[in-house]
Chain A
């Protein structure tokens, strides 16, 4: 495997990590708020808080890691995306900032439980951020960022009038809610909290339908936006079929209330197959026809250094993540809420 392929695979994997953990986080914020305003609060709220509190900061790092890695491995992408995405990028930053800060304020700083305003900010940004971030996928298909006389522009007209833009936004919204509900169903089951489990299972089943519809819709919109990419995707159609099978089995298991640990693994596989299939067929371009992984790759010394550091970093990162998961996800006492919450 060439260095540039290693680089993009590493980055794509981290973006996938972000997709999963951030979806859980964003969706949980929304459900948490939704449960407060609909009165399901006492059933699901505490279980959501118990999961989110120790991990919210880690979620943020996944995104930073991807952005830094992308401009590190492929400096040209900083030039094109950076110039064109000033406004949407800044808006996402502001939303992320509000979300992170108010989450901490609510969890650690608020004297009374669950400040409604903080929670509303938290819930709303949970849907706005994935919507905004997902549009970059639409932009990466080409035709929206143009370069005239050495000046990079984002063509807002073709950005908003593009059905593909809207299809990825819809896909992002529903899949965030779906992934999150699936995870929380599993978490509630693990905690042995039947009431929360039933509510969350309802959410998971409810959002499974729109998710698959949005997937299919987005799939065919790629054909209109970028036929070359679409035909690449058809070439590896089996990946997407596997994804569909994982989806069907996962929904079936939740329906039957069985093997919930496997369910969430299947959800990850479902998105994993689709994600890597999409990414693989997008290559060699990071931005269609403008930034390819071959031409805009960093120098070889830096690539070797980055990959070395990455491997060394994993030796520290993976055990640390395992400790985190063991303490808060797989520790029955903590999950049930019988160990002390915070200092």
Chain B
């Protein structure tokens, strides 16, 4: 691998997105969780839930700040690192980019209002309503920006004439075949990762021996949400598999190391490839790939050999896919065990066994890893194309010779940002204990009921 501007641009873009994706997902998911808690608080007149919403919101601002600034980075880097891509594809993709900034505007405005109007309205419901534009704004941003990514995977709505996109239909470009599955998968996984991280925090407090009802309520709300979101993410993931089989068969084939086109195709889990592209040590599940691709054991699945070698995605995406799916199963399974804990041997009283709490604590990091793997898989799976079938990555990058030093600069920036973000968040929650805050606000809740 040579370190030319193209490779370096890829690394820098990848790095920025790697950091941004986590914070962006929280930006989409956490407002929903906050709204859920505040709504429960108003519905049940239980101040614990309102306090939960307040404490989440306080931490959320910190993560939003990092999300906003890394989002600004990627927004500018699109033009700085991929000027040719923007010059050519800009003719077809400007609309969702532009709409995304509007959604971002709405989110930014109402988040500012929400944070500064606790106790300012006579009716608490009015304050909760402010979260609706925040949640809509962040989900809409995710929607628009994902349609753009979907376009790069299944471009349509234009004709390429002498290197220029002509006869453009912006809406057809936006609503391309990849849009439905991609958008819903992105949204569902953002909700999942947010619920999982918040569940992890609640589990951590319980593991540390806290006994207050507050933490148990937090755990219940977050784990139940995590279950619902993770399950929907998994179901949508299955649709995505069927989408790939139909529209991007080379991505699915590379993910599954499926070389020969055939019916009754087996699914390979794990394993290694030898020099003749034969799978060794893999776990083979008969018919599973055909079922994944078309719900029937005799569905014909297109193999990688149908594609010229220089248009095949890298084969290491197989591991990303496997790992992501495995984590996805865990994300459904652990919350499920929480729900049926009363049925577990030796746990009639519905207590929280230590192993279960540890599992819930792990949900957060696992979900973050799954999100990263999912995106890495989606992006590497599109190689060597930047706009599949039209423009290769190598043709789109900047020609500048300074990408290397910028890569170092940004790597340093992200290390500093993420490090300080974690420190600030940790300090924020330690400096004001829940029980102290409940006492301050006059909420009862130092003891177990």
Contacts and interface: CB of A to CB of B under 8 A. Distances in A.
B420 A324 contact: no
A179 to B, nearest CB: 21
A305 B168 CA distance: 11
A254 to B, nearest CB: 28
A316 B109 CA distance: 11
Interface stretch (B248-256, B338-346, B405-413): B405-413
Contacts of A81: 79
Contact of A101 (B69, B78, B119, B120): B69
Interface stretch (B290-298, B374-382, B394-402): B394-402
Most central of B95, B116, B133, B425 by chain A CB within 10 Å: B116
Contact of A306 (B95, B416, B424): B95
Given A54-B113, A108-B62, A306 B98 contact: yes
Contacts of B102: 309, 313, 316-317
Given A71-B94, A302-B95, A320-B106, A61 B80 contact: no
B35 interface: no
Contact of B424 (A67, A105, A309): A105
Interface in A34-92: 53-58, 60-61, 63-65, 67-69, 71-73, 75-76, 78-83, 85-87, 89-92
A324 B86 CA distance: 34
A151 interface: yes
B75 A103 contact: no
B54 A343 contact: yes
Given A71-B79, A340-B120, A103 B98 contact: no
A320 B68 contact: no
B435 interface: no
B176 interface: no
Contacts, number: 232
Given A78-B83, A342-B116, A57 B64 contact: yes
A109 B425 contact: yes
B14 to A, nearest CB: 16
Interface size of A as a range: 35 or more
Given A64-B72, A65-B101, A105-B62, A75 B168 contact: no
B98 A60 contact: no
Contacts of B110: 320
Interface in A299-326: 299, 301-302, 305-306, 309-310, 313, 316-317, 320-321, 323-324
Interface in B50-90: 54, 57-58, 61-62, 64-66, 68-73, 75-84, 86-88, 90
Interface in A82-130: 82-83, 85-87, 89-94, 96-98, 100-105, 108-111
Given A86-B81, A151-B399, A93 B118 contact: no
Nearest to A111: B431
B400 A69 contact: no
Contacts of A101: 65-66, 69, 417, 420-421
A199 B119 CA distance: 32
Given A101-B66, A316-B106, A152 B399 contact: yes
Contacts of B425: 109
Contacts of B80: 82, 85-86, 89-90
A341 interface: yes
Contacts of A334: 116
B168 A57 contact: no
Most central of A53, A90, A320, A324 by chain B CB within 10 Å: A90
Q: Is the interface of A mostly helix, strand, loop or mixed?
A: helix
Nearest to B84: A79
A239 B161 CA distance: 44
B86 A82 contact: yes
B125 interface: no
B228 interface: no
B65 A323 contact: no
A61 B70 contact: no
A76 B109 CA distance: 31
Contact of A299 (B57, B111, B116, B166): B166
B30 interface: no
B118 A343 contact: yes
B427 interface: yes
A324 B107 CA distance: 12
Contact of A98 (B111, B113, B171, B413): B413
Given A301-B170, A320-B133, A104 B64 contact: yes
Contacts of B88: 75
Given A78-B90, A79-B86, A72 B97 contact: yes
Given A82-B83, A89-B76, A306-B98, A103 B168 contact: no
A328 interface: yes
A281 interface: no
A96 B73 CA distance: 9
B300 interface: no
A265 B245 CA distance: 60
B105 A320 contact: yes
B428 interface: yes
B118 A342 contact: yes
Interface in B254-278: none
A323 B113 contact: yes
Contacts of B73: 93, 97
A96 B69 contact: yes
B76 to A, nearest CB: 5
Given A108-B61, A342-B118, A82 B108 contact: no
A82 B89 CA distance: 14
A339 interface: yes
B101 to A, nearest CB: 5
Interface string A216-231: 0000000000000000
Contact of B105 (A102, A152, A317, A342): A317
A83 B399 contact: yes
A64 B65 CA distance: 15
A342 B61 CA distance: 11
Nearest first, the 3 A-B pairs at minimum CB distance are A72-B94, A104-B65, A75-B90
Interface of B: 54, 57-58, 61-62, 64-66, 68-73, 75-84, 86-88, 90-92, 94-95, 97-102, 104-106, 108-113, 115-120, 133, 165-166, 168-171, 398-400, 402-403, 405-406, 409-410, 413, 416-417, 420-421, 424-425, 427-428, 431
5 contacts: A68-B75, A97-B73, A104-B61, A109-B428, A302-B95
Interface of A: 53-58, 60-61, 63-65, 67-69, 71-73, 75-76, 78-83, 85-87, 89-94, 96-98, 100-105, 108-111, 151-152, 298-299, 301-302, 305-306, 309-310, 313, 316-317, 320-321, 323-324, 327-328, 334, 339-343
